[in-house]
């Protein structure tokens, strides 16, 4: 039963209410016992003081003086007055306001039964032997019993209120929880049915449920993006691989017809297709976060300088100029091999798609949450209509159709950036073309 209660919000609140109720019972029992004992001690003290006063009377005037004192007290009696019983050695009453219901014994007695007129009662008593008899002073426990009943009623009411509030809170919290979870459940069922546009409603309260809804929505956005990406890849593969496959088939037909040179061409075209598939597989692996296990603390400044030095001879040989503005001390947690591949793609693009005489500038800077790596050139640039889709697979600007490449370079750059909790986007230089890679610190 308890195992089932722990598994629901209603059950958890009920268990908390029961725990508070148990604490209330424990506190009530302790408070009752402490209060009860304090009142009993107060009665015992009052009895002791009165007994000492009457014993002093006995020392001065004998038992007759004690009897006179008892009679005086009886004449001035009120609801809070003590009761007295004075007997001689033969247990004959000399003066009394009550009659005992049991034989007398010396000392304190917590529950002393007595009769007063037609009523019986219970009191605390102190029986003290005198030279000519015994004096019994009794405090009625009626007020103490009334206080005990009042305390018991108060604690019972507190316990009842605690249980009622606990059960009410359990019902309310359970209802609110089921209501919020029903929205998530409804969204999940819509997505299972194929509607990937559905999102979990948020109320803007920044509560636990609201933050959970935000997290789930980000997850759904990511899933939707991956699904769109998958559909885009399927479409791109179907369209962009048709031409090289057709050419390969033509070369194979020529080879079958006896053209030996067609075999070498077909081999080159097959290698080109393998390169495309390898790039697609690499992008898929990076986007699937399979490379996250390789993340390590690295010096990004040194990596950028190494990549620039590696490509500077190629830039000079082709008539290009490569400049750098890289501050020292830039560090991130990342995959050096993937970052080097992304930088290589950017530098290769600058070499491949810009004419001789173009200047490319590799810069980096640290912001509050990320490091920005930017490569800009003053080449011909790309039309704005092409710029919006350059990070898609197989996307190429019209000005790059005559150059080598498959349109996968920038797609891989963005995949690497996203794999480092960042992004890749186009910059807006005064002229030419530029890419900004954001890498999370």
Residue 45 to residue 267: CA distance in whole angstroms: 114
Place of tokens 């290009």: 320
pLDDT the model gives residue 282: 67
Pairing mode, if any, of strands 359-366 and 321-325?
Answer: parallel
Place of tokens 């007595």: 114
Q: Please say whether the beta carbons of 375 and 435 come within 8 A.
A: yes
Q: Provide the CA 215 distance to its chain's centre, in angstroms.
A: 12
Which residues are bridge partners to 109 per DSSP? 125
| Domain 2-147 annotated CATH 3.30.1360 | no
Residue 292 to residue 286: CA distance in whole angstroms: 8
Residue 87 to residue 105: CA distance in whole angstroms: 12
pLDDT the model gives residue 240: 59
Residue 204 to residue 211: CA distance in whole angstroms: 9
| Domain 292-440 annotated CATH 3.30.565.10 | yes
Residue 336 to residue 302: CA distance in whole angstroms: 11
CA distances from 440 to 13, 332, 417 (A): 41, 7, 9
Q: Taking the CB of residue 347, how many other CB atoms lie within 10 A of it? A: 22
User: Closest by alpha carbon to 320, among 374, 375, 372?
Assistant: 375
pLDDT the model gives residue 402: 44
Residue 265 to residue 260: CA distance in whole angstroms: 9
**Helices 409-419, 336-352: inter-axial angle, 10-degree rounding:** 150
Q: Provide the CA 136 distance to its chain's centre, in angstroms.
A: 69
The per-residue pLDDT for range 368-415, each reduced to its tens digit, is 888 999 999 998 877 666 666 676 655 554 444 444 555 677 888 888
pLDDT the model gives residue 254: 77
pTM of the entire predicted model = 0.46
CA distances from 304 to 134, 168, 202 (A): 109, 63, 43
Which residues are bridge partners to 172 per DSSP? none
Residue 97 to residue 3: CA distance in whole angstroms: 63
pLDDT the model gives residue 146: 87
The per-residue pLDDT for range 6-45, each reduced to its tens digit, is 566 667 777 777 788 888 888 888 888 888 888 889 989 9
* 422: helix, strand or coil: coil
- Stretches in the chain below the pLDDT threshold 70: 1-10, 229-230, 232-244, 272-273, 275-294, 383-389, 391-407, 430
């Amino acid at each position: 039963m308890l195992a089932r209660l722990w598994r629901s919000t209603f059950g958890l609140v009920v268990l908390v209410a029961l725990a508070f109720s148990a604490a209330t019972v424990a506190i009530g029992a302790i408070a009752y016992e402490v209060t009860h004992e304090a009142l009993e001690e107060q009665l015992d003290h009052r009895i002791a003081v009165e007994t000492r006063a009457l014993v002093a009377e006995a020392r001065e005037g004998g038992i007759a003086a004690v009897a006179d004192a008892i009679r005086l007290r009886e004449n001035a009696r009120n609801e809070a007055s003590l009761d007295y019983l004075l007997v001689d050695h033969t247990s004959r009453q000399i003066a009394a306001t009550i009659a005992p219901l049991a034989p007398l014994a010396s000392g304190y007695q917590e529950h002393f039964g007595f009769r007063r007129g037609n009523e019986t009662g219970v009191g605390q008593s102190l029986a003290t032997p005198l030279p000519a008899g015994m004096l019994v002073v009794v405090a009625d426990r009626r007020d103490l019993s009334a206080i005990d009943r009042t305390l018991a009623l108060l604690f019972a009411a507190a316990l009842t209120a605690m249980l009622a509030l606990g059960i009410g809170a359990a019902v309310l919290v359970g209802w609110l929880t089921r209501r919020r979870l029903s929205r998530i459940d409804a969204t999940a069922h819509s997505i299972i049915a194929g509607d990937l546009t559905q999102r979990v409603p948020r109320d803007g309260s920044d509560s636990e449920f609201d933050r959970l809804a935000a997290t789930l929505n980000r997850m759904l956005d990511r899933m939707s993006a991956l699904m769109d990406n998958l559909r885009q890849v399927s479409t791109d593969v179907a369209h962009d691989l048709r031409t090289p496959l057709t050419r390969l088939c033509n070369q194979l037909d020529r080879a079958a017809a006896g053209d030996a040179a067609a075999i070498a061409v077909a081999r080159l075209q097959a290698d080109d297709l393998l390169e495309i598939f390898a790039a697609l597989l690499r992008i898929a692996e990076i986007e699937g976060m399979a490379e996250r296990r390789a993340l390590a603390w690295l010096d990004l400044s040194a990596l950028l300088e190494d990549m620039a030095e590696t490509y500077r001879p190629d830039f000079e040989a082709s008539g290009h100029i490569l400049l750098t503005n890289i501050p020292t001390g830039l560090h991130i947690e990342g995959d050096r091999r993937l970052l080097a591949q992304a930088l290589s793609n950017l530098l290769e693009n600058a070499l491949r798609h810009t004419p001789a005489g173009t200047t490319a500038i590799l810069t980096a800077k640290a912001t509050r949450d990320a490091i920005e790596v930017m490569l800009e050139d003053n080449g011909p640039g790309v039309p704005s209509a092409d710029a919006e889709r350059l990070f898609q697979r197989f996307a190429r600007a019209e000005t790059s159709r005559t150059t080598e490449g498959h349109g996968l370079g920038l797609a891989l750059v963005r995949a690497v950036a996203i794999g480092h909790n960042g992004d890749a986007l186009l910059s807006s230089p005064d002229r030419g073309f530029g890419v900004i890679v954001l890498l999370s610190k």
